[in-house]
Amino acid sequence: MKRWLSLFVLLLPGILQAQSSQFHTVPGQARSMVVSKFGIVSTPQFLASQAGAHILEQGGNAIDAAIAANAVMGVVQPYVNGIGGDLFMLYFDAKTGKLYGLNSSGWTPKALTIEALKDQGISSIDPIGVNTIDVPGAVAGWDAMRSRFGTMPFSKLLAPAIYYASNGFPLAERNARYWIAKRLIDQPGYRQTYVLWPNPPQPGDLFRNPALANSLRQIAARGRDAYYNGPMTETMVNFLRSQGGLHTLEDFRDFQPEWVEPVSTTYHGWTIYELPPNGQGIAALSMLNIMEHFPLAQYGHNSVNALHVMIEAKKLAYADMYRYVGDPRFTPIPVQQLISKQLADQRAQLIHMDKASCQVVPSQIETELDKHGNSTIYLSAIDKDGNIVSLIQSNYAGYGTGMVAPGLGFSFQNRGAGFQLTPGLPNSLDGHKRPLHTIIPAFMEKGDIRIGFGIMGGWNQAQAHAQFVSNIVDFHMNVQSALEQPRFTKETFAGCDVMMEETIPADVRAGLAARGHQIQLLEPLSFTVGQGAAVVRDTTRKVNFAAGDPRSDGAAIPQEPATP
């Protein structure tokens, strides 16, 4: 007994260091984590984070704060999200310890089929055309969240967004940089809604959207019915049909989000959760399963070997995801096989440490998905009780289609651009079907630590999740440092091309190039590798932590305590 006690005493400092390493500042870390006994909201825009924190101060919980923050995001960053888009969420209920998943991705018009397009002589989908506009799911998602777990009425939750839309707000730095989408200038309603200045906007220029304020007021008063079963619905359907769409009032009225069971895998003792298909989340889990076969921690962070393994694992995981994932209501999807350790055993053997693979299996993948859809927001919220929301919301491409119905103030998504027009595939176009989605929230836990996290950016997301998890697990970074680290991204499915931030050392890039990787350099803190956020709950100490990505205008903002 004494021998074991002595050994434990010798090992105790290392054990404590490993447990507490999630909270240590890493050398070179630019920002500190936000730490509080109260709630924290982290979004890509500080006004949205502040709105969510204010809801917490008024007595709301993490669900309430997330809805309020998301609504403000749709006002202040309409080029990446809004009520014309879709929503996915993971919610950790601290009282029960249960994790809930919400899929509020919209479906196509019932009449929109491959045959219907063929009858019109259409053989490919215009990426910003009306046929890419599925029924938007964001408002229905808010309603589902609020009805099941929220505590406040929409009138209170949407008040900050209504204020900013009605009274205006000055553009932040990245706001001004990404605001104008020149390719959408001639889309119906785009110029009138978003281009308010004779010259490109500058930081500090004021933007107002009174039409969006009115739309939000209707939702605040009537809830989801205002959007899916009322005068606003009629306006949307009439507009979409005038553009050649096949949308009907019934397509909107009958739409419902779906509560789903999250799927998970383990990675070196941590459990990582994603949402099941029709999203790409299983690719992150598959990628982690493959990475687990290699000693990344021994290789070193962002070393040649570590990056080589992750890039190769990405190709293999995404190949399977693209081959099998679609809407599970239409096509059986072998989810458990795709995220199994057994499959990862086989896939890991395909990685050659001395050479990049430019062709990946399954071999029947001969085409690439469209690469234009990377405009998304991710936010996370945690309240004083430890409830966590991990939420992602998107228009798909910037402003989606850029189409704005008269008087409504928001653009419609183009999520349907991801469908395939070849019959019989998991992601083939069909009526009332949801496309293969890129947007994914995530959650991870081990022992007394819970982390809600996500990183936006089209097909960047699953691979960015895997890199974030590796930073936490393999290299013992805290969440802020894990977000700040240079990342790679590969938007294509085949080939040896890969993009990475130029802050990855030159000698490492040279080593990767020697193995056949064709590297395209990105600026430091590039939008291309996504913007993320994370919140952490230490359940033993009942302390919350949060991180914000320096690639955004965002911030993690804590709730202030009530004072006399």
- Span 39-49, pLDDT tens digits: 999 999 999 99
The answer on pLDDT for 9 being more than 80 is: no
Share of the chain above pLDDT 90, in %: 79
- Does the structure show a pLDDT above 90 at 37? yes
Asked whether residue 5 is domain-assigned, the answer is no
Residues with active-site annotation? 376
**What angle (nearest 5°) sits at the alpha carbon of residue 379, between those of residues 373 and 382?**
160
Say what the pTM is. Answer: 0.93
**pLDDT over 50 at 255, yes or no:** yes
pLDDT band at 359 (very low <50, low <70, confident <90, very high): confident
Contacts of 336 (CB under 8 A, 6+ apart): none
pLDDT-derived band at 22, boundaries 50, 70, 90: low
Handedness of CA 275, 281, 287, 290 (dihedral sign): positive
Helices 304-324 and 460-473, packing angle to 10 deg = 140
Task: Say whether pLDDT at 462 is over 60.
Answer: yes
- Could you tell me if residue 136 is inside a domain? yes
pLDDT at residue 500, rounded to an integer: 97
d(CA 461, CA 499): 14
Question: Which of 17-26, 243-252, 412-421 is predicted least confidently?
Answer: 17-26
Convert the pLDDT of each residue in 111-135 to its tens digit: 999 999 999 999 899 999 999 999 9
Residues 116, 122, 127, 130: is their CA dihedral positive or negative? negative
| For residue 363, pLDDT beyond 90 | no
Task: Tell me the pLDDT band of 175, cut-offs 50, 70 and 90.
Answer: confident
- Segment 341-357 shows an average pLDDT of 94
Residue 447 in domain: yes
* Average pLDDT of the chain to the nearest whole number: 91
What's the average model confidence in pLDDT over 51-73?
A: 98
- Give the per-residue pLDDT at 274: 97
pLDDT tens, 316-340?
999 998 888 888 888 888 889 999 9
In a domain, 27, yes or no: no
Question: So what's the pLDDT on residue 341?
Answer: 94
Mean pLDDT, residues 521-533: 93
3 — phi, psi (to 5°)? -60, -45
Confidence band, pLDDT 50/70/90 cuts, at residue 1: very low
Which amino acid, 68? Answer: A
At 230, is the pLDDT very low, low, confident or very high (cuts 50, 70, 90)? very high
CA proximity to 490, closest of 529, 445, 443, 446 = 529
Domains of the chain: total: 1
Q: How far apart are CA 371 and CA 390, in angstroms?
A: 25
* Secondary structure (3-state) at 413: coil
Phi, psi of 87 (to 5 degrees): -150, 140
Contacts (Cβ under 8 Å, ≥6 apart) of 88: 101, 102, 103, 104, 105, 141, 275, 279, 391, 392, 393, 437, 439, 440, 441
In this predicted structure, what is the pLDDT of residue 6?
40
Q: What is the residue type of 163?
A: Y
More confident residue, 375 or 207: 207
The answer to whether position 139 is within a domain reads yes
Both tokens of residue 361?
A: 């299996």
Domain containing 276 equals 36-564
Q: How many angstroms from the chain centroid is the CA of residue 350?
A: 29
Q: 530 or 60, which is more confident?
A: 60
- What is residue 21's predicted lDDT score, i.e. its pLDDT? 56
* Domain contains 29: no
pLDDT band for position 370 (50/70/90)? Answer: very low
Residue 299 clears pLDDT 50, i.e. is over it = yes
Which pLDDT belongs to residue 15? 37
Q: How far apart are CA 58 and CA 157, in angstroms?
A: 10
Closest by CA to 412, choosing from 127, 112, 175, 125, is 127
- Residue pair 555/46 in contact (Cβ under 8 Å)? The answer is yes
**Exposure pattern of 174-211 as b/e (b: 16+ CB <10 Å)?**
bbbebbbbeebeebbbbeebbbeeeeebeeebebbbeb
Residue 13 in this model has a pLDDT that exceeds 70: no
Q: If you average pLDDT over residues 30-45, what whole number do you get?
A: 95
Domain assignment of residue 368, yes or no: yes
Q: Is the pLDDT of residue 361 over 80?
A: no
- 13 within domain boundaries: no
pLDDT score, position 375: 63
Q: Which of 15-19, 200-204, 234-238 has the lowest mean pLDDT?
A: 15-19
Compute CA distances 123 → 36, 243, 419, 541, whole Å. 55, 18, 12, 59
Is residue 564 over pLDDT 90? no
Cα distances (angstroms) measured from residue 300 to each of 57, 295, 401, 470, 483: 42, 9, 43, 11, 17
Query: Dihedral (C-alpha) 349, 355, 358, 361: value to the nearest 10 degrees?
Result: -10
